[in-house]
Structure 1
Amino acid sequence: MFAATFFDGEEWREGAIGLVDGRLLLRDEPAPADAPRLDGVIVGGYTDHHVHLQLVDHTLLAGSALGRVVDLGANPEVVAQLAVHNSSMNSPRAGSGATSAPRAAVLEELRTPHRPEIVFAGAFLTPPSGYPSDRDWAPGGSVREVGDAASAARAVREMADAGASCIKVASNAHAGLVFDDALFRLIVELAAERGLDVTAHAEGQGEAQRVARLGARRLAHAPFTERLSDDEIAEQAASVSWISTLAIHSGADLTVAIHNVRRFHTAGGTVRYGTDMGNGPTPVGLNGAELRALRDAGLDDAALLRALAPCDPRDASALLLLLPGRSPATADPSLARPLTPADLKV
């Protein structure tokens, strides 16, 4: 048993970690007084809040620093099968209802790279001929064109029945039609009836403010097509969270996005790490360029770690080890590596 400092998703805590039936188990309790201290601090796998698994080799995520990914635009049947597959590959941890496993099974589990949990929105909901229905990169079945209340109800029901954790709505005024206020608001209401929030791709003059006013709870991209006013930033900070996706931009778009994120964060807004994985040659795993852009936008130390939304390591099936800087809060998230039983050897 080792004394250990860990991040529970919001703050640093003290606990104890050891091996139970060959598996790493972190407990939220004091370690014995004579226990050695783990060299480093523990976090759960990070969350990428914006990925497109059909556009990358998703098998490369196995063993990465990501413990959870949120797919925001895919064929719902395909991504639901991936979610079930990854779930079945990650065995329950000892101490969370699991029974002792035979030694051979434990050894096989330790040799099998952890696969991140997958949650998903399913297909993009968009007006007829709206973005991204005309994009070559959009996989078959990943777009639902919605023209009226009846088709909106069918689309929301289909995504919810497939197991979606949110509804993705495209509102890209630069690339074609967007929903009018009434239909957008109806989709928000239909989603809420199924216990789901709406995540919106808002692009174009005034779109970020409009979708927030109509009830979207998350922006799939930090606003990058216009600099929001201070009043608009304050309104956004009080009602929606932003998924960063800063590193997909360059030039003026990147400058605008970082400027908006810096003020949004200062105003108390919730920023979530997300990369739009699959949009161009993005890394399949933790994206160092996104982390650097978030630091440029003023998210540092614990704020950056909160944006990464690591899984609670007391419940996670894969744990990461970070070497602390001046304090646990200054540990560099990009240097995380999987924690292994070998780290508990004195």
Structure 2
Amino acid sequence: MTGAPLGRPGDGGTWLPPLVDAHVHLGLVDPVAVRRGGIAVVHDLGWVPDVARRWPGTPGFPEVAFAGAFLTAPGGYPSDRSWAPTGSVEEVATPDEAVAAVDRQVAAGASFVKVALHSDAGPVPDDVTLAALVGHAHARGRDVVAHVEGQGMAARAFEAGVDRFAHAPFSEHLRDDLLRAMARPRASARPRPDSPRPDAEHDPARRRTRPGGRKEPDNDPHVVFGGAGVSWVSTLDVHGWGSPRAEQGVAVDNVRRFVALGGTVVYGTDLGNGPLPLGVNPRELRALAAAGLDAHDLVAALTRDAPAGRRTPARAPHVETGRRNAALATWVPGDPPDPDDPDDVAAWLARAVVVERDRATDPAPGQEFPDADPDPDEPGTDPDPDPEG
């Protein structure tokens, strides 16, 4: 792939789609600094819903999609963590409670739902409650992100139909046959958002496909994690913050084998959890490169969840939000990197600048930035670091 373009070159730099950090706790960091550091879109994976709902559209912030509260078993992770403020955790003990909790997150504007399956830190939802949570989220048109930690939790989440892991699994080396199943696209359709909620929604949903994007009857935009059976957020650097612990080695090994089997891994840092850079994290990118991702793959991992219309030029699929025209884009000044040098690629991406759409659509002559597809339907640092976040 030597010499292959990583983006659309402009006058003195390169245009890219918006860069996305798919695992952030925005309430623990300075959102303005995150955007200044080159991140245009964040997925907030757990906070107080009434606070999170005010973030999207705030001037100077990245674009925000959020999960709302962590859904967990009574007494489960992270209900006992000092960094989790009152209202950021909902404990669910029964299927009915899980269904009601999902509905509350959707009512708050959540783009997806997060469930905690951390068996090393306390109780986790039982099988029936987890199935009800996942099934009802899907019936409401929301994908499910899971924190999986502890022996067997990754397999259990996958069997329950979870769409994305908040971390590349790091507490066990996953079997190749399990990785192969996780990497396979799902083959049967998800229920329509407006369909009634039958008992069958408790059925594991891991064979469904994901349409490219859709809206609820209430027209709330939300993210759809398209593509593979279950995608992973990387969060490799959080295991040591530059001084890798054993968990990072396990996670890198899992990522290497998962990607080799066709699995999807997106860039995410668990920002807010310890001393992580506010913006693009070159250590995270170098760890992904160590797991076998080449320069194109790194750009794809950073842009796969970019809003529709800002598609990565490097063969990667994308995720659509309900919003068709991205307001932000990315400009990387200077010459493109040597694509065969991971350090050079990481340092180059760390120079990224978030640019407003009106500036991004006026690049150098003859170097058109890729415009949105037409849509016929529309005219800091955690003071109490916790590697399990």
Normalised by the length of structure 2, the TM-score is: 0.69
The amino acid that maps onto 1:264 is F
Partner of 1:234: 180
Which deviations, in whole Å up to 9, do the C-alpha atoms of 1:83-111 show, x marking residues without a partner? Answer: 24x2xx3xxxxxxxxxxxxxxxxxxxxxx
Partner of 2:349: 333
Question: Which whole-Å CA distance do the structure 1 matches of 2:259 and 2:43 have between them?
Answer: 22
Partner of 1:50: 23
Decide which of 109, 121, 126 is 1:180's aligned counterpart. Answer: 126
Decide which of 203, 211, 220 is 2:166's aligned counterpart. Answer: 220
Contact kept, 8 Å, 1:129 with 1:177, in 2: the verdict is: yes
Question: Which whole-Å CA distance do the structure 1 matches of 2:276 and 2:23 have between them?
Answer: 12
Question: Which whole-Å CA distance do the structure 1 matches of 2:297 and 2:265 have between them?
Answer: 9
Q: Is residue 2:135 matched to residue 1:119?
A: no
Decide which of 261, 268, 275 is 1:267's aligned counterpart. Answer: 261
**Using a 3 Å threshold, how does the CA distance of structure 1 residues 338 and 344 change in structure 2: closer, same or farther?**
farther
1:187 deviates by 0.3
Gaps of 5+ in 2: 185-228, 312-324, 367-389
1:327 deviates by 7.0
Partner of 2:327: 317
1:139 deviates by 1.5
Partner of 2:12: 39
Partner of 1:141: 87
Contact kept, 8 Å, 2:37 with 2:352, in 1: the verdict is: no
Contact kept, 8 Å, 1:223 with 1:257, in 2: the verdict is: yes
Partner of 2:56: 83
Question: Which whole-Å CA distance do the structure 2 matches of 1:296 and 1:152 have between them?
Answer: 39
SS at structure 2 position matched to 1:298: coil
SS at structure 1 position matched to 2:237: helix
The amino acid that maps onto 2:123 is L
Question: Which whole-Å CA distance do the structure 1 matches of 2:328 and 2:97 have between them?
Answer: 41
Amino-acid identity (%): 44
- The aligned runs of 1:157-306 (5 Å cut-off) are 157-238=103-184, 239-249=229-239, 250-306=244-300
SS at structure 2 position matched to 1:235: helix
Coordinate RMSD, CA, aligned: 2.7
Question: Which whole-Å CA distance do the structure 2 matches of 1:179 and 1:286 have between them?
Answer: 34
Question: Which whole-Å CA distance do the structure 2 matches of 1:46 and 1:320 have between them?
Answer: 7
Q: Which has the larger radius of gyration?
A: 1
Higher strand share: 1
Question: Which whole-Å CA distance do the structure 2 matches of 1:319 and 1:159 have between them?
Answer: 29
Which deviations, in whole Å up to 9, do the C-alpha atoms of 1:207-240 show, x marking residues without a partner? Answer: 1011001110100000000001111111121220
**Using a 3 Å threshold, how does the CA distance of structure 1 residues 194 and 121 change in structure 2: closer, same or farther?**
same
Contact kept, 8 Å, 1:44 with 1:67, in 2: the verdict is: no
Question: Which whole-Å CA distance do the structure 2 matches of 1:56 and 1:319 have between them?
Answer: 22
Question: Which whole-Å CA distance do the structure 2 matches of 1:165 and 1:120 have between them?
Answer: 6
Which deviations, in whole Å up to 9, do the C-alpha atoms of 1:107-143 show, x marking residues without a partner? Answer: xxxxxxx531000000000000000001111112100
Normalised by the length of structure 1, the TM-score is: 0.77
